[in-house]
Every structure is written in structure tokens, then in C-alpha cells.
Amino acid sequence: MGACCSSEAPKFDGVSPAYRKALWVVIIINAIMFGVEMAAGALSGSQALKADALDFLGDALTYSLSLWAIGRSVATRSYTAIFKGASLAVMGLWVMGATIYEVFVLEMPQAHVMGLIGVLALLANLLSVMVLMKFKDGDANVRSVWLCSRNDAIGNVAVMFAAIAVYLTASAWPDLIVAAAMAGLFLWSSIQILRQAIRELREDRRSVNERLT
């Protein structure tokens, strides 16, 4: 009876040599770009670049966790996704807090550095998005990888617009606004990941209970 409760096809769980290879590629890309962007953010005084650099670091670490979780039980994959969602929320709150702090400092970031690194980061993230495109639908563990990569690409486009706005207005406000928007995006993605992971965990527990009865 339990087997007939759902007509949905099983979600892709990442058990694929092609998916493992794709994860390794994006892990390396994100680790490299974290170092590049954090250095550029410190050099230029850009809060948006620092926020994006932290996103690269978070992605590199969570992709590694996703790689570890492949092939494990539904519960393990769901708890892994929950951890990643919670980590993304913490990062979003940290960026939001740092942005609020910067509002009272308002140091002028260097627009040309922001723009140059923004282009480089966008190219790196577009490559990651293309690598992961065919794996965007799956369980919470797989889905979280796609959402993080998508967030990176969106964030890089936003940083580039912020660089143009900083240059045109001679103000730090566009940089801070973009950093705050990115923090909001992190938090929204965290909510999506947590909802799906919790739903899959409940479905797995219900399935186990039905088999036992």
C-alpha cells in the first residue's frame, strides 16, 4: 500500500560519475575564486565583493559535502542539505550584519577593481552553471548545489552593476545595497533548501513506518 502513495518519479540523488565530475570541477572553480575575490574585496574596500567571495567559499565547502553525501541514505542526504541550508542562512545574516556596519562607515570602494573582478567571477560562475545545468533538478542535496551556483551568477551580475553605479554616483551606497540584496538571496535560497530537505526527510520517515506496518 505504501508503494502506491506517491506517483512521483524518484528524484535524481546524484549517483552518477558525470555528476561527481561536475562537482569536482565547480569545487575547484569556487575555491580559486574565493581567494581572488576576497583579496580584491580587501584591496578595493568593496563589501559586495567580500560578500560574493564568502559565497564562493561557502559553495566550495558545501559542494564538497554534497560529494560526500552522494549514494548515502535519504536521511543522510536530507540532513546534509539541512546543514547546508542553515550554513547559507548564517552566511546571509553575517553579510547583512557586515553591510549594516558598513552603512555607518561608508568607505568609498574602488569601482574599477569591483568591475574587473566582477567580470572574472561572472565568467567563472557561468562556467559552473553550464557544468551543472543538466543536474539542476533532483533531491534537496542536488538542488542545493544548483541554487548556490545560480546565486553566484546573479550575485556577480549585481556586483558589476554596483561597480557602474559606484563609478557614476561617486557613492558607496550602490555597493552596500547590492551586498544587502545578496544577503537576502542567500536567506531565500536557504529557506528553499531547508523546506525541501525537511519534506524529503518526513517522506522518508513515513515510507519507513509504512514498510514496518
Q: Does the pTM of the predicted model rise above 0.85?
A: no
Q: What integer pLDDT is reported at residue 24 of this predicted model?
A: 92
More confident residue, 171 or 64: 64
Q: Is residue 80 assigned to a domain?
A: yes
Q: Is residue 213 assigned to a domain?
A: no
Which residues form the domain of 170? 15-206
131-168 pLDDT, tens digit each: 888 877 777 777 777 777 777 777 777 777 777 777 78
Number of domains into which the chain is organized: 1
Q: Is residue 212 assigned to a domain?
A: no
- Give 133-174 as a 3 state SS string: HHHCCCCHHHHHHHHHHHHHHHHHHHHHHHHHHHHHHCCCHH
Q: Is residue 192 assigned to a domain?
A: yes
Instruction: Spell out the residues 6+ positions from residue 21 whose beta carbon is closer than 8 angstroms to its own.
Output: none
Rounded mean pLDDT, 190-210: 81
Q: What integer pLDDT is reported at residue 66 of this predicted model?
A: 80
Q: Is residue 48 assigned to a domain?
A: yes
CATH number at residue 58: 1.20.1510
Q: What integer pLDDT is reported at residue 126 of this predicted model?
A: 86
Q: What integer pLDDT is reported at residue 1 of this predicted model?
A: 34
CA distance to 8, 78, 191, 197, 212, per residue, from 205 (Å)? 17, 11, 21, 12, 11
Query: What is the C-alpha to C-alpha distance for residues 186 and 145, in angstroms, rounded to an integer?
Result: 13
Q: Is residue 2 assigned to a domain?
A: no
Q: Is residue 10 assigned to a domain?
A: no
Q: Is residue 7 assigned to a domain?
A: no
Residue 110: pLDDT band by 50, 70, 90 thresholds? low
80-90 pLDDT, tens digit each: 878 878 877 88
